Amino acid sequence: MEGSYLFKLLLFTSTYAIFCQLSLSSTFTISNYCSETIWPGTLAGAGTPQLSSTGFMLQPGQTARLQATPGWSGRIWARTGCQFDQDGAGICQTGDCGGRLECHGAGALPPATLFEVTLGKGTDEDFYDVSLVDGYNLPVVVIPRVQHGTCNATGCIADLNQACPKELQVDCGEGVIACRSACEAFGRDEFCCSGQYGNPSTCRPTRYSAVFKAACPRAYSYAYDDSTSTFTCAAAFDYTIAFCPPTNAMKRSDGTWVGSTPPPENGPTTSSSNNRRGATANGGPESDGDGAALDLDDMTSSSASAPIIIKTLTASHYYLLLLFLLFTVSFLSI
Radius of gyration of the chain measured on its C-alpha atoms: 21
pLDDT of residue 317: 44
Beta-carbon neighbour count of residue 275 at 10 Å?
10
pLDDT at 288: 37
Rounded-to-integer distance, Cα 68 and Cα 268, Å? 12
Euclidean distance between CA atoms 10 and 111, whole angstroms: 51
CATH number for the region 27-312 comes to: 2.60.110.10
Among 1-10, 166-175, 210-219, 248-257, which is the least confidently predicted range?
248-257
* Averaged pLDDT for residues 4-18: 51
pLDDT digits (tens, 9 = 90+) for 175-184: 999 999 999 9
Q: Closest Cα to residue 143, out of 29, 43, 63?
A: 29
Question: Does the structure show a pLDDT above 70 at 124?
Answer: yes
Segment 106-124 mean pLDDT: 95
315-332 vs 2-24: helix crossing angle, rounded to 10: 160
Please tell me the distance from the alpha carbon of residue 108 to that of residue 112, in angstroms, as a whole number. Answer: 7
Give CA–CA dist 77/319, Å, rounded.
32
Contact 296, 248 (CB under 8 A): yes
Secondary structure of residue 272 in the 3-state scheme: coil
> 333 vs 75, which has greater pLDDT?
75
- Between 214 and 4, where is the model more confident? 214
HEC readout, 211-233: HHHHHCCCCECCCCCCCCCCEEE
The H-or-E segment that residue 321 falls in is helix 315-332
The predicted structure's pLDDT at residue 48: 94
pLDDT value, residue 321: 52
DSSP of 155-207 = EE-S-HHHH--GGGEEE-SSSEEEE--HHHHH--HHHHT-GGG-STTT----H
Long-range contacts, 148-153 (Cβ 8 Å, 24+): 148/310, 149/234, 149/310, 150/307, 150/308, 150/309, 150/310, 151/231, 151/232, 151/233, 151/234, 151/236, 151/308, 152/231, 152/233, 152/304, 152/305, 152/306, 152/308, 153/294, 153/299, 153/306, 153/308
Q: pLDDT per residue over 266-314, tens digit each?
A: 345 444 433 322 332 223 333 333 333 333 333 332 222 222 222 223 4
| Mean per-residue pLDDT over the chain, rounded | 77
User: How sure is the predictor about 8, in pLDDT bands with cuts at 50, 70 and 90?
Assistant: low
State the average pLDDT over residues 243-263. 48
Percent of the chain at pLDDT exceeding 70:
66
- pTM of the model as a whole: 0.73
pLDDT of 231? 95
Burial class (CB in 10 A: 0-12, 13-18, 19+), 265: middle
The pLDDT tens digits of the residues spanning 146-163 come to 888 889 999 999 999 999
Task: Provide the pLDDT for residue 280.
Answer: 29
Euclidean distance between CA atoms 16 and 11, whole angstroms: 8
